[in-house]
Chain A
Amino acid sequence: MLIKFPHCLAIALLMSCSWSYGQIAEFDPVTDEMLGDPPPGEWLSWRGEQNSWGYSPLEQINTGNVNQLQLVWSWAMDDTGAGQAAPLIHNGVMFLPGPRGVIQALDAANGDLIWEYRPGITASIDGTERAISREALGAAAMPATAYAGVGRGVQKNIAIYGEMIYAATENASIVGIDARSGLLVWETRTADPALGYYYTAGPIIANGVLVTGITGCERYKDDLCFITGHNPQSGEELWRFATVAAPGTPEGDSWGDLPLQFRAGADSWQAGSYDPQKNLVYYGTAQAKPWARAVRGTDGDALYTNSTLALNPNTGELAWYYQHLPGETHDMDEVFETLLIDVGGRESIFKMGKLAILWQLDRQTGELIRATDIGYQTIVNVNPTSGNITYRDGMIPRIGQQIDMCPSTSGFKSWRAMAYSPQTSAVYVPITLNCELATFGPTERVLGGGGTGPVRRINYPHPQSDGNLGELLALDIPSGEVKWRYRQRAPINTAALTTAGGLVIVGDWNRYMYAFDAESGEKLWQTRVTTSAQGFPMTYMIDGKQYLALPVGVGGASWSSMLPRDLAPELTRPLNGNSIHVFALPD
């Protein structure tokens, strides 16, 4: 299937032949139809399919045999920053995103490297200068030797389409890479990284358009946070939707009288979903910045922060929005994944933010169907049928005044995406149980300033947790009732994966990987790996054999550093070890 030879032979015009190791000889272009209905053994979207279920129809590995899993191969990734990989599989090749923009193509059956793309090092496909040079970025560029522990330099997902791989960079550009060779085809800068912008979430493909949400929108600047659509062939920007409503627009009053420069936040740092029947992409947005109302200077709703947006991927036109937490004021993101699930004929979206409220929206209209508070948070009251939020007494922070809140600013839910199983009609949600004594402080209201605002922070265990930080929560769909809970000391630290083999797969901060019976919650298998399980587990099939790929990683924000350090100090992990581990049943 894979033929390896130097690029200098493959591409006659290429000046250099040292960076890539070979090329994928048999590569079927990925079509919209394939993305909409992928072959069962492939993994073509960051959560498996465009509906973001995180579910595989493969069942060779199942509840009856999962305890026989064996390591087939593993691969050490760059240790230049945090690992939160969401690999893709096509034509027997794993496309693996690593820290600081590195992408590697590996033979998914044995782990052999086929090619790798290294920003600034890998040549472009025709030998001309296509990459944005560090010289052009100047002081805005991430230092070449920097260790990218949190934020800039993290690379979660990538996209595949046609004969290309797509990624979004730490320096606020989008790249198109030749999928066969790993050579750069185009790089398009979307924003100035000197203003704070960068990407951690990669693009998705929707009806032939590359859709990407940016982050790093917390600074004060003459500019607004955005989601873009790009032409996948050329890298040309087709549209841009500002996720912050500007003064003078229909929703612009929701920021009070704040001028545009001081309307920050509404980042999209987790990739969205796509419904091909409706031709709509669904993206979450993050909270307003600075986090606290009193610090940002408005108690308005601050649209379109902490919302679900439905956008036409060809035009960028807003079909509808639903704002989950109007005027949010504690750093409670609702930015996370949107699962497209039909329930009793009702085309729905299910999603959950840091507060662990499960939202069900109508996918066509954005109307709220049901809001289910899991019951862990102490900040708001939510009306289950209208979705309306009211803050509990004393819970709107004032500058310099300590409040006691659950969760902490890290949240119960994070980027560790939940998965849905149609077999059990349940979602499986990685949760971290925690609370905080929080005192929000001021920022300078000047261009270049702003940010999240400082917080004096004291973490403490959640009163219902019995000292456990980690929870895997199984919730019935659509009722939101708890089907089962699994709790343990260490945080559950990966996204969840569900399979038709009746399994739900997650890993934890303490280096364990687990397979559970999705129906009963019984733990069926575990193994231990190099460092924290971290990233997006997935599964695939090659030549009749099912493989389970589990990413492992260091780094990460407070959920993976401060919380375990403060609340489970007896747990330790190696400081290096970004890697991927692939398991299968014995032959």
Chain B
Amino acid sequence: MQSSIRAQGSSSIWDGIYTEAQAVRGEEEYAARCASCHSVDLRGNSNSPSLLGLSFMFIWEGRTLGELFGKVSTEMPTDQPGSLSLQSYAAILAFILKKNEFPAGSSELSTNDAVLNQILITSEGAAN
């Protein structure tokens, strides 16, 4: 698996940057704190964007996981922003990555900005 300590942009969400166990934890947190707006299946509703596939990548393609983590952890849930622990936000993000079929790996998704800022969100599969 890729180490997360790499030069900016040289790591991507294809590099196994979260664990299965983390995504399973994230699924529970997601159901309780995110699903009423983004739906159980992540496809959103009229007020909240889809977190899957084309729609997700349209917003996030070319940006870093640090940017996404920053938005989620400071703005979500919209009515109680910042009310979850950083570990919970990371687990939820792991769950979203899993549902988008980005591969799991052996180390958990970090909550460290410096690390997350080096992970690129890209549809270019398994970027090196």
Q: Which candidate, B13-21, B41-49, B106-114, is the interface stretch facing chain A?
A: B41-49
Assess whether B37 is in contact with A454, with CB atoms less than 8 Å apart. no
B81 to chain A, nearest CB (A): 8
Assess whether A444 is in contact with B53, with CB atoms less than 8 Å apart. yes
Cross-chain contact of B54 among A140, A149, A216, A442 (Cβ < 8 A): A442
Assess whether A147 is in contact with B32, with CB atoms less than 8 Å apart. yes
Residues on A with C-beta less than 8 A from B44 are 451-452
Cross-chain contact of B32 among A81, A143, A196, A453 (Cβ < 8 A): A143
- State A555–B33 Cα separation when bound (angstroms): 13
| Proximity bits, A133-168, B CB within 8 Å = 1, else 0 | 000000110110111111111000000000000000
Residues on A with C-beta less than 8 A from B55 are 441-443, 451, 453-454
In chain B, residues 41-89, which have Cβ atoms closer than 8 Å to a Cβ of chain A? 41, 43-50, 53-56, 58-59, 75, 77-81, 83
A486 to chain B, nearest CB (A): 27
Assess whether B46 is in contact with A149, with CB atoms less than 8 Å apart. no
- The verdict on A146 contacting B79 (CB below 8 Å), with A151-B37, A218-B45, A448-B43 known, is no
Assess whether A554 is in contact with B50, with CB atoms less than 8 Å apart. no
Assess whether B35 is in contact with A151, with CB atoms less than 8 Å apart. no
A157 to chain B, nearest CB (A): 18
- The verdict on A150 contacting B33 (CB below 8 Å), with A441-B58, A442-B58 known, is no
Q: Is A485 an interface residue (CB 8 A)?
A: no
Q: Which residue of A lies closest to B51 (CB)?
A: A454
- The verdict on A219 contacting B43 (CB below 8 Å), with A146-B32, A441-B54, A451-B55 known, is yes
Assess whether B78 is in contact with A150, with CB atoms less than 8 Å apart. yes
Assess whether A149 is in contact with B32, with CB atoms less than 8 Å apart. no
- State A562–B79 Cα separation when bound (angstroms): 10
A398 to chain B, nearest CB (A): 14
Assess whether B80 is in contact with A147, with CB atoms less than 8 Å apart. yes
Residues on B with C-beta less than 8 A from A149 are 36-37, 77-80
Q: Is A449 an interface residue (CB 8 A)?
A: yes
| Proximity bits, A517-557, B CB within 8 Å = 1, else 0 | 00000000000000000000000000000000000001111
A18 to chain B, nearest CB (A): 26
Q: Is B31 an interface residue (CB 8 A)?
A: yes
A383 to chain B, nearest CB (A): 29
B45 to chain A, nearest CB (A): 4
Q: Which residue of B lies closest to A456 (CB)?
A: B59
Cross-chain contact of A443 among B31, B39, B50, B78 (Cβ < 8 A): B50
- State A140–B75 Cα separation when bound (angstroms): 26
- State A452–B79 Cα separation when bound (angstroms): 21
B22 to chain A, nearest CB (A): 20
- State A442–B59 Cα separation when bound (angstroms): 10
B92 to chain A, nearest CB (A): 13
- State A450–B80 Cα separation when bound (angstroms): 28
Residues on A with C-beta less than 8 A from B5 are none
Q: Is B127 an interface residue (CB 8 A)?
A: no
In chain A, residues 88-109, which have Cβ atoms closer than 8 Å to a Cβ of chain B? none
Q: How many A-B residue pairs have CB under 8 A?
A: 120
Cross-chain contact of A561 among B36, B45, B58, B79 (Cβ < 8 A): B79
Q: Which residue of B lies closest to A556 (CB)?
A: B79
Residues on A with C-beta less than 8 A from B35 are 142-143, 146
- State A149–B48 Cα separation when bound (angstroms): 10
Residues on A with C-beta less than 8 A from B126 are none
Residues on A with C-beta less than 8 A from B78 are 149-150, 555-558, 561-562
- State A153–B39 Cα separation when bound (angstroms): 12
Assess whether A216 is in contact with B45, with CB atoms less than 8 Å apart. yes
Residues on A with C-beta less than 8 A from B36 are 81, 142, 146-153
Q: Is A267 an interface residue (CB 8 A)?
A: yes
Q: Is A215 an interface residue (CB 8 A)?
A: yes
Residues on B with C-beta less than 8 A from A558 are 47, 78
- The verdict on A444 contacting B46 (CB below 8 Å), with A150-B78, A153-B36, A565-B75 known, is no
- The verdict on A152 contacting B45 (CB below 8 Å), with A443-B50, A561-B78 known, is yes
Cross-chain contact of A146 among B31, B48, B49, B58 (Cβ < 8 A): B31
Q: Is A183 an interface residue (CB 8 A)?
A: no
- State A150–B48 Cα separation when bound (angstroms): 8
Assess whether B37 is in contact with A150, with CB atoms less than 8 Å apart. yes
Residues on B with C-beta less than 8 A from A557 are 47, 78
In chain A, residues 480-522, which have Cβ atoms closer than 8 Å to a Cβ of chain B? none
Assess whether A452 is in contact with B32, with CB atoms less than 8 Å apart. no
- State A212–B78 Cα separation when bound (angstroms): 28
Residues on A with C-beta less than 8 A from B81 are 561, 565, 575
Q: For B31, B47, B81, which residue has the most chain A Cβ atoms within 10 angstroms?
A: B47
- State A269–B36 Cα separation when bound (angstroms): 16
Residue ranges of A at the interface with B (Cβ–Cβ < 8 Å): 81-82, 139-140, 142-143, 145-153, 196, 198, 215-216, 218-219, 267, 269, 286, 289, 441-444, 448-449, 451-456, 554-558, 561-562, 565, 575
- A sample of 15 cross-chain residue pairs with beta-carbon separation below 8 angstroms, ordered by A number, consists of A142-B36, A143-B40, A145-B32, A147-B36, A150-B45, A151-B37, A153-B36, A196-B45, A216-B46, A218-B46, A454-B50, A454-B55, A456-B59, A561-B81, A575-B80
Residue ranges of B at the interface with A (Cβ–Cβ < 8 Å): 31-33, 35-37, 39-41, 43-50, 53-56, 58-59, 75, 77-81, 83
Q: Which 6 A-B pairs have the closest CB atoms?
A: A441-B58, A555-B79, A149-B79, A561-B78, A557-B47, A454-B55
Query: Given A150-B48, A289-B46, A556-B78, 13 more contacts at CB 8 Å?
Result: A142-B35, A146-B36, A148-B36, A149-B79, A151-B36, A151-B37, A152-B37, A153-B36, A443-B50, A443-B54, A456-B59, A565-B81, A575-B81
